[in-house]
Amino acid sequence: MGFLNPWLLAGLAGVAVPILIHLLNRFRQRRIDWAAMELLRRAIVIRQRRIRIEDLILLALRCLAVVLVALAMSRPTLSTAGAKWFGAQEQVGAVIALDGSFSMAFRPGVGSRFDRAIETVKDLKAALDPGDPTSLVLMGNRPRIALRATGYDDRRLEKALKEMQPLPEPLNLEQCLDQLLPLVRETRAPVRECYIVTDAQAATWGNLSEKARRALRDIGQEARIFVLPLAPDSGENTALAGLALQSGSLRRGTLARLAAEVRNFGRLTQDRVVVSLLAGEKPVDQRVVERLAPGGAQTVPLFVRLDEPGSLRLTATIGHDALDTDNVRHAVARVRDQVRVLVVDGDPSDRPYRGETDYLATALLPKPPPGGKPSMAVEAVPWVELPSKNPDTYDVVILANLPDIRQAQVDELFGFVQEGGGLAVFLGDKVNPVLLNPRMRQGDAALLPGEVGEAAAAPGDAPEGAPLAAADAQHPLARALEVLPPALMAEARVQRYFKVALGTQGRAVLKVAGADTPLLAEKSIGRGKVLLFASTADRAWTNLPTHPAFPVLLQEIVTYLTTRSHERPWVVGEPLVVALPTRSTVTSVVFRGPGGAETAVQVLQRDGRRVAAYEHTDQPGFYEMAQPGGPPAAAAVNVDARESDVRTLVGESLAAALSGLPVQILGPDVLNKAGAIRETRVGRELWRILMLAAIAVLALEGFLAWRFARQMQAAESSPTPTGRQVLDERSAA
Amino acid sequence: MAPKPRPKLKYLDSQVLQNLDSLDLVAREVVEGVRVGMHRSPLRGFSTEFAHHRPYVPGDSVRHLDWRVYGRTERYYVKLYEAETNFDAHLLLDASASMRFGSGGLSKLEYAKFMAASLAYMIVDQRDSVGLAVFDSQLRRYLPPRSAMGVLSIIDEALAQAVPEPRTDIAGLLHEFAGRIPRRGFVILFSDLFDHVDEFIKGLDHLRFRGHNVAVFHVMDPYELRFPFGGGTWRFEGLELEGEITTQPKRIRAAYLEELRKFLQQIRKACERSHVDYVLVDTSRPIDVVLSAYLISRIHQAAGTRNR
């Protein structure tokens, strides 16, 4: 038995208050001469004893209430042993949350952080007694519950710990804490504790979101939280933080360029970091970063020759360090034999560069390699020939300044895009929005990202027009232009453009500087995409076709339109969503993970598309989805580079990060952690019970006082004859 | 008709007397008197109101022979007449210390004095005799009954001189008084009756045995009747040297009222059994109201008795 506020025990002296009031009432008497002493004496003989007993009962209850309130305010606690002594089985409900993010795989010496965390959990075993309801959770991108409120059993816990490995995931603290709360709540024990064993990674714990803080507060309402950070270590880690294809369309026989970002998260300079690239199992390139400053990053170009069409699996690695998980990154390159592009000219001309598509064709067909096959097969046709062309025989269709289009062609194009084709639409003076907008629909579904409105001059007074600006800086097409010199980009001008009102699924990519509506907008339909350029593909309304950025933009547009969504890099834990051809009738597809395990996934209808979503991307590497009637679709899944910063918070900095939260930090300097927890364990706090008891006692006192008074009133209500009554009775007689 | 002049006396309130003016104190039963009055006498006299015949016995005056009856029956019958007489009223005033209690402006004793004086006036006014006995543990003052108006001032003076003394022995006094009164009369007792009830009842029975009309005016203060004390602790000091009691009156009110009820019921029943008029007097009520109510009830009873 202990007291958290022992000085408030002085409040016990308050028990004197009701006694004093009682005595004062007794001694503060009024005096009266009285004749009917005999009646009074007889009444007292009957009542006085009862009054005295009632008074004593009420006085005792008042004193008891004061004692209970004073005791409650001093917050007495009953130790577990004490509770047992009183006959109560005082259990401790424990939720052990173990950080399983891949920073825990950091191995600066002999053992990894995870090994030390396991040892810490084993240290905590001494804080638990057999039978205590215990949960064990491995925290990663989401929590994995290994034990759920099972009675504590040493062997079972050991076994569960043995099966645990760090996950190739970052720690999503918000989600994990959010799901710890119900686990804590369902733990049926009077004393509940939550132990969080973590490396206290600065990137995660240094700036806790309000949601995470709220979750900690909520858990703190239910249980005592102990954060057990591991001992600090070197934190030196070099990671391959990114790997991305930099080339345009990947075609057989060309050289693809990849950018590998190497980042030093440590405090020491790293020398000679070797970056290797493997195509499948075969090493294809190697670069050396001679010097990488602390906190610095360097992007290394890597090249690979694309000899065969199909999905090429590329893996970049750097040399071993204390954390290998982030030393590897994967990418998938889809190599085509040749990209077939159909360019439809809405304003054809025999004169060079007077037609609508001349600049397009030039931009799409750069000088082919000597003796090589052009990477694209561009076929330009006047718009009147469009009905004779089957879009399905092309990868990309570009419509430029089309005066009109038949509904049959729109339907064909719709199907073409749904099955994975790419459509780019350029506008111009031949376009009549009144005709175009209703034409470019299939039923309720619009083919274009938005409604084409009236043509307008570019904002500003400059006669040469306004420059381009990114509407979505993260979009691959916007990023492609962003790498170009700003001064060069500033020379690309748009004088006139159509105002486009984006539809619900439309997404702005580029815009004219100062304008509200997009210049380039995108929309996904089925497996394919549609791009709408709101100005001309020739020099009529913009100088862009003669600008050096035009070929870059066109190449990127074709690459973007021919890239499948699943070919982008994915992150571990992120559901892998693959769009299927709408004509396909399969109801389930099989995914194969990096380890070779196969899982059948149901095909779903989502946003008008048929998709298969694979949720269990638990490991980095290559995933395959068997495609009906084609080669398997491959996707690369990588670890989240944010977790690579393995620097941790220690001592004061961790305390500062957790300040104001109901947590106790048991740092690595506390050798006997279980003992420390047992010492701080105050067992069952009794103040609530005492306060409830005080309220109950006061209620009882009030009830009894009311009842005594009621009895008194009931007795008083018996009639006593008065002189008038006696006379009245006599008169009546 | 001009109102009758009334003597200016301390305990005579003209307003009270005026309110009681039309009422008489009538003896419920026959009383013995020395003069012709308004009350029936137990003696059959030869007055004006025929009662009945009885056979002539030697010694009867031949004047009262009913010759008509003789003419019809040839037997001697004497005519007897109902005698009307006055009565002797004895006012017995309890002047013990307990009568000193008064929660308002007037103590029970003062209230009883006013009642006694008013009744005395009425009795004399209807040509009956009235006497006064003031007692506590013993008879302090006794005025034999007289019918002259002058007796009122003597009674008034005696009342004024009556001071409360501790201890009441009503029973003893009633016994003593029963032996002292020669003729059957009207005994009116003013007291709070805080005495041994059994003894008091025996005293009443003694008076009744001697053929007296007895009326008891049980004088009680409203505080004694209703015990309307608030919260807190009170110390009750006995007026009859019974010591003191400290208690919370509000808490014992019920028990007190129950005891009071029993006490009053016991007295009432004893009075009914002995054919004694019992009037519980609440001193918070106007004297004329109390008296007139009692007198009216007496008149009704007397009328009933005559009719029977």
Nearest-CB residue to A727 (from B194, B261, B279): B279
Instruction: Give A-chain residues touching B240 at CB under 8 angstroms.
Output: 35, 37
pLDDT band at B211 (very low <50, low <70, confident <90, very high): confident
Pair (B188, B254) in one structural domain: yes
Whether the pLDDT of residue A54 is over 80: the answer is yes
B231 inside domain: yes
Mind telling me how many Å the CA of A710 is from chain B's nearest CA? 11
- By residue range, what is the domain housing residue B273? 14-31+87-307
Pair (B99, B245) in one structural domain: yes
Q: Look at residue B220 in the predicted model and tell me its pLDDT.
A: 92
* Inter-helix orientation angle A113-124/A673-680, to 10°: 50
B4 inside domain: no
Lowest-confidence region among A126-135, A250-259, A455-464: A250-259
Mind telling me how many Å the CA of B13 is from chain A's nearest CA? 21
Tell which of A26, A31, A46, A47 to mutate to test the B interface (max B CBs under 10 Å): A47
Lowest-confidence region among A226-240, A369-383, B60-74, B281-295: A369-383
Instruction: Give A-chain residues touching B257 at CB under 8 angstroms.
Output: 715-716, 718, 720
B207 inside domain: yes
Taking all residues of chain A, what is their mean pLDDT, rounded to a whole number?
84
Q: Look at residue A4 in the predicted model and tell me its pLDDT.
A: 63
Higher pLDDT, A575 or A715: A575
User: Is A28–B263 a contact, with Cβ atoms under 8 angstroms apart?
Assistant: no
Please state the rounded mean pLDDT for residues A111-126.
Answer: 89
What is the DSSP code string of A164-226? ----SS---HHHHHHHHHHHHHT---SEEEEEEEE--BHHHHTT--HHHHHHHHHHHHHSEEE
Nearest-angstrom CA–CA distance, A206 and A200: 8
CA dihedral A625, A626, A628, A632 (to 10 degrees): 80
Q: What percent of chain B has pLDDT over 90?
A: 7
pLDDT band at B218 (very low <50, low <70, confident <90, very high): very high
Pair (B127, B202) in one structural domain: yes
Pair (B77, B122) in one structural domain: no
pLDDT band at B45 (very low <50, low <70, confident <90, very high): very low
Using alpha carbons, list the distances in angstroms from residue A312 to A299, A338, A589, A695.
22, 16, 21, 75
pLDDT band at B172 (very low <50, low <70, confident <90, very high): confident
Taking all residues of chain B, what is their mean pLDDT, rounded to a whole number?
79
pLDDT band at B247 (very low <50, low <70, confident <90, very high): confident
Same fold flag, A238-336 and A567-638: yes
Higher pLDDT, A376 or A519: A519
The H-or-E segment that residue A512 falls in is strand A507-512
Whether the pLDDT of residue B47 is over 50: the answer is no
B233 inside domain: yes
B201 inside domain: yes
Instruction: Give B-chain residues touching A29 at CB under 8 angstroms.
Output: 232-235, 246
Pair (B65, B168) in one structural domain: no
Nearest-angstrom CA–CA distance, A233 and A202: 13
Please state the rounded mean pLDDT for residues A96-116.
Answer: 89
Q: Look at residue B30 in the predicted model and tell me its pLDDT.
A: 47
Pair (B43, B177) in one structural domain: no
Q: How many CA atoms lie within 13 A of B120 on its CB side?
A: 38
CATH of domain A238-336: 2.60.40.10
A-B Cβ pairs (cutoff 8 Å, strict): 159
Nearest-CB residue to B233 (from A28, A719, A723): A28
Q: Look at residue A227 in the predicted model and tell me its pLDDT.
A: 92
Tell which of B247, B285, B298 to mutate to test the A interface (max A CBs under 10 Å): B247
What tens digit of pLDDT does each residue of A670-693 get?
888 888 887 777 556 677 788 889
Instruction: Give B-chain residues touching A725 at CB under 8 angstroms.
Output: 280
Pair (B72, B98) in one structural domain: no
Going by CATH, does the domain composed of A567-638 fall within 2.40.160.20?
no
What tens digit of pLDDT does each residue of A698-721 get?
999 999 888 887 776 665 554 444
Going by CATH, does the domain composed of A339-563 fall within 3.40.50.880?
yes
Provide the domain count of chain B: 2
Please state the rounded mean pLDDT for residues A4-28.
Answer: 81
Nearest-angstrom CA–CA distance, B9 and A411: 133
CATH number assigned to the domain comprising residue B131: 3.40.50.410
Burial per residue of A448-458, b for 16 or more beta-carbon CB atoms within 10 angstroms, e otherwise: bbbbbeebeeb
What tens digit of pLDDT does each residue of A464-511 get?
889 999 999 888 889 888 888 999 989 999 999 999 999 888 999 999
ipTM of this predicted structure: 0.77
pLDDT band at A535 (very low <50, low <70, confident <90, very high): very high
Sign of CA dihedral A669, A673, A677, A679: negative
Higher pLDDT, B308 or A379: A379
Whether the pLDDT of residue B303 is over 70: the answer is no
B27 inside domain: yes
Please state the rounded mean pLDDT for residues A422-436.
Answer: 91
Whether the pLDDT of residue A733 is over 70: the answer is no
Pair (B120, B264) in one structural domain: yes
Whether the pLDDT of residue A728 is over 70: the answer is no
User: Is A31–B235 a contact, with Cβ atoms under 8 angstroms apart?
Assistant: yes
Instruction: Give A-chain residues touching B282 at CB under 8 angstroms.
Output: 722-724
Please state the rounded mean pLDDT for residues A432-459.
Answer: 88
Pair (B71, B100) in one structural domain: no
B85, B105, B120 — which closes off a domain? B85
Length of chain A in terms of residues written: 733
Pair (B79, B220) in one structural domain: no
User: Is A44–B252 a contact, with Cβ atoms under 8 angstroms apart?
Assistant: yes
Nearest-angstrom CA–CA distance, B147 and B7: 15
Lowest-confidence region among A452-466, A711-725, B84-98, B160-174: A711-725
Whether B258 and chain A come into contact, CB under 8 Å, resolves to: yes
Nearest-CB residue to A720 (from B239, B255, B257): B257
**Class of residue A125 by CB neighbours under 10 A (exposed 0-12, middle 13-18, buried 19+):** middle
Of A23, A14, A21, the C-alpha closest to A64 is: A14
Q: What percent of chain A has pLDDT over 70?
A: 90
Tell which of B110, B259, B268, B287 to mutate to test the A interface (max A CBs under 10 Å): B259
Pair (B78, B197) in one structural domain: no
Interface of B with A in 238-257 (CB under 8 A): 238-240, 242-243, 245-248, 250-257
Query: A548 by DSSP, 3-state: which?
Result: coil
What is the DSSP code string of chain B? -PPPP----TT--HHHHHHTTT-----SS----SS--SEEEEEEESSSEEEEEEE--TTS-GGGB-HHHHHHHSS-EEEEEEEEE--EEEEEEE-BGGGG--SSSS-HHHHHHHHHHHHHHHHHHTT-EEEEEEESSSEEEEEEEE-STTHHHHHHHHHHH---BS---HHHHHHHHHHH--S--EEEEEE---S-HHHHHHHHHHHHHTT-EEEEEEEE-HHHHH----SSEEEEEETTS--EEEE-HHHHHHHHHHHHHHHHHHHHHHHHHTT-EEEEEETTS-HHHHHHHHHHHHHHHHHHHHH-
Nearest-angstrom CA–CA distance, A524 and A504: 11
B290 inside domain: yes
Please state the rounded mean pLDDT for residues B114-140.
Answer: 84
Going by CATH, does the domain composed of A91-234+646-682 fall within 3.40.718.10?
no
Q: Compare all CA atoms of chain A with the CA of B299 and give the residue at the minimum distance.
A: A731
Whether the pLDDT of residue A87 is over 50: the answer is no
B1 inside domain: no
Higher pLDDT, A530 or B197: A530
Domain boundaries, given as residue ranges, for chain A: 2-82+687-724, 91-234+646-682, 238-336, 339-563, 567-638
Lowest-confidence region among A392-396, A461-465, A590-594, B136-140: B136-140
Sign of CA dihedral A490, A491, A495, A498: negative
Q: Look at residue A725 in the predicted model and tell me its pLDDT.
A: 46
Q: Look at residue B32 in the predicted model and tell me its pLDDT.
A: 47
Higher pLDDT, B17 or A175: A175
Instruction: Give B-chain residues touching A730 at CB under 8 angstroms.
Output: 279, 297
Lowest-confidence region among A5-14, A432-441, A627-636, A648-657: A627-636
Using alpha carbons, list the distances in angstroms from residue B209 to A543, A624, B25, B182, B198.
147, 131, 22, 13, 16
Pair (B204, B147) in one structural domain: yes
Selection from A27-36, A496-505, B202-211 with the highest mean pLDDT: A496-505
Instruction: Give A-chain residues touching B192 at CB under 8 angstroms.
Output: 35-36
Strand B139-146, strand B129-135: pairing: antiparallel
Higher pLDDT, B286 or B34: B286
Whether the pLDDT of residue A195 is over 90: the answer is yes
Q: Compare all CA atoms of chain B with the CA of A720 and give the residue at the minimum distance.
A: B261
